[in-house]
Amino acid sequence: MNLISRHFQLTAQRGAFELRRGSRLTTMPKANQVLVRMGAASLNYRDLLTLQDPSVNRDGLIPLSDGAGTVMAVGAGVTRWKAGDRVSVNFFPTWLRGAFAPSALATALGGGETDGMLSDYVVADTNSLVPIPEHLSLAEAATLPCAAVTAWHALFERGQLQPGETVLVQGTGGVALFGLQLAAAHGAKVIVTSSSEEKLARAKALGAWKTINYDLQPAWDKAAMDFTEGRGVDHILELGGPQTYDKSIAAVAPGGRIAQIGVLTGFASQPNILPLQFKNASIHGICVGSVEHFEHLNQFMSMHRIHPVIDTAFAFDDVPAAYAHLQSAGHFGKLVVNLN
Ligand SMILES: NC(=O)c1ccc[n+]([C@@H]2O[C@H](COP(=O)([O-])OP(=O)(O)OC[C@H]3O[C@@H](n4cnc5c(N)ncnc54)[C@H](OP(=O)(O)O)[C@@H]3O)[C@@H](O)[C@H]2O)c1
């Protein structure tokens, strides 16, 4: 089978990377591998960082960790998957279950040393795959591997979220809206912050309990304390970094949990963590998740018939426009690229 696969790849250019279109012959799956015809891929904030960061040599790397597709062929010894199965590849193909091993970092799709999903065909190890929930299209499923698994890992695997507890998510990007949808489906009360009144109205329609415009109300930690009658928030998805951290610590409830996830306002957070001691509260470091976390997420998505929020679906030719839209932060939820 001679299959030509289109892709975009990163090309080193003036201290950063540019996206360059290309194509190549698809390799066939070896033992314990499958060949996947990709239906869609999806973008994350990380993909902007990957493009802008010259400190790692990613010349020639195919970007994007997230995608979904259909198995076309299987290698020798593969019994778990067959042609026609709809699958996604886990963000860390080698983190299957249990404790995280730092060696998995280099295998992270589309950012470390391993090609990502912005390609017509992908060859993946059988153990790195998860089946796609039946109620989801390939475009919807393509949004899950990074943002949704991260929100799931933070709130359910590590956070042990309980119905009736409070959750705060920062902004209305991918991780935040999955946090909202998953927590609301579980019966939690979710506070959403955003710079946009229009986006906050949409968050309300998705099930947000309370909303705060962080531009109009920079002291959103105080608003969160008011909403919770002075108790604080049980689970906070810390997505902002330097500009949000102290407020997250101020707003977290006694015994509460801050999930350390994001760097939207930079990398060098230096929060005063002493208040956590006097609240018996914790910070959980979260780095996406394992294949097992992804499987648990998909069970929950199926049980609650949750559909990811897709802001815009771009054609393959319009990949640069998709990156530009992500950079503008005008999106609500996820951006996807259709690959068929
Ligand atoms: N640790 C991990 O495993 C992991 C996994 C996934 C993502 N992340 C990180 O998590 C963050 C979110 O990723 P994403 O892909 O969901 O991003 P995204 O979709 O690009 O979200 C962007 C949105 O973040 C909001 N935002 C920006 N600055 C903010 C601030 N100061 N306060 C509150 N909200 C702010 C804005 O929402 P409004 O327009 O509504 O204001 C913006 O539209 C990124 O830093 C990413 O690198 C980490």
Predicted confidence (pLDDT) per residue in 178-187, tens digit? 999 999 999 9
Pairing of strands 252-260, 282-285: parallel
Longest dimension (CA), the chain: 64
211 lines ligand 1 (CB under 6 A): no
52 lines ligand 1 (CB under 6 A): no
170 lines ligand 1 (CB under 6 A): yes
171 lines ligand 1 (CB under 6 A): yes
* Amino acid (1-letter code) at residue 207: G
Q: Can you tell me which atom of ligand 1 is nearest the CA of 215? A: 41
Q: What's the pLDDT score for residue 167? A: 99
Pairing of strands 252-260, 233-238: parallel
Question: In the CATH scheme, what is the homologous superfamily, with its name and number, of domain 4-143+308-338?
Answer: Medium-chain alcohol dehydrogenases, catalytic domain (3.90.180.10)
Q: What's the pLDDT score for residue 54? A: 82
- Give residue-wise pLDDT tens across range 60-81: 999 999 999 999 999 999 999 9
pLDDT at residue 16 is higher than 90: no
Residue listed under structure tokens 């030509």: 4
pLDDT at residue 13 is higher than 90: no
244 lines ligand 1 (CB under 6 A): yes
223 lines ligand 1 (CB under 6 A): no
Global pTM reads 0.98
Mutational test site, ligand 1, from 42, 43, 45, max ligand atoms within 8 Å of CB: 45
pLDDT at residue 14 is higher than 90: no
CA distance 91 to 89: 6
Neighbouring C-beta atoms of residue 238, cutoff 10 Å? 28
Distance 173 CA to ligand 1 centre (A): 5
Q: Which CA distances in Å does 7 have to 19, 26, 41? A: 10, 11, 11
Distance 171 CA to ligand 1 centre (A): 6
Distance 264 CA to ligand 1 centre (A): 5
Q: What's the pLDDT score for residue 53? A: 87
Q: Is the dihedral of CA 18, 22, 27, 28 positive or negative?
A: positive
- What are the structural domain ranges in the chain? 4-143+308-338, 148-285
CB 79 within 8 A of CB 65: no
Q: Cα 265 to chain center, whole Å?
A: 17
Distance 103 CA to ligand 1 centre (A): 25
Q: Can you tell me which atom of ligand 1 is nearest the CA of 326? A: 20
Q: What's the pLDDT score for residue 57? A: 85
48 lines ligand 1 (CB under 6 A): no
Question: In the CATH scheme, what is the homologous superfamily, with its name and number, of domain 148-285?
Answer: NAD(P)-binding Rossmann-like Domain (3.40.50.720)
pLDDT at residue 322 is higher than 80: yes
Average pLDDT on 276-282 reads: 98
Query: Which of helix, strand or coil describes residue 44?
Result: coil
Distance 239 CA to ligand 1 centre (A): 5
Q: What's the pLDDT score for residue 103? A: 95
50 lines ligand 1 (CB under 6 A): no
- pLDDT over 90, % of the chain: 95
260 lines ligand 1 (CB under 6 A): no
286 lines ligand 1 (CB under 6 A): yes
Mean pLDDT of the chain: 97
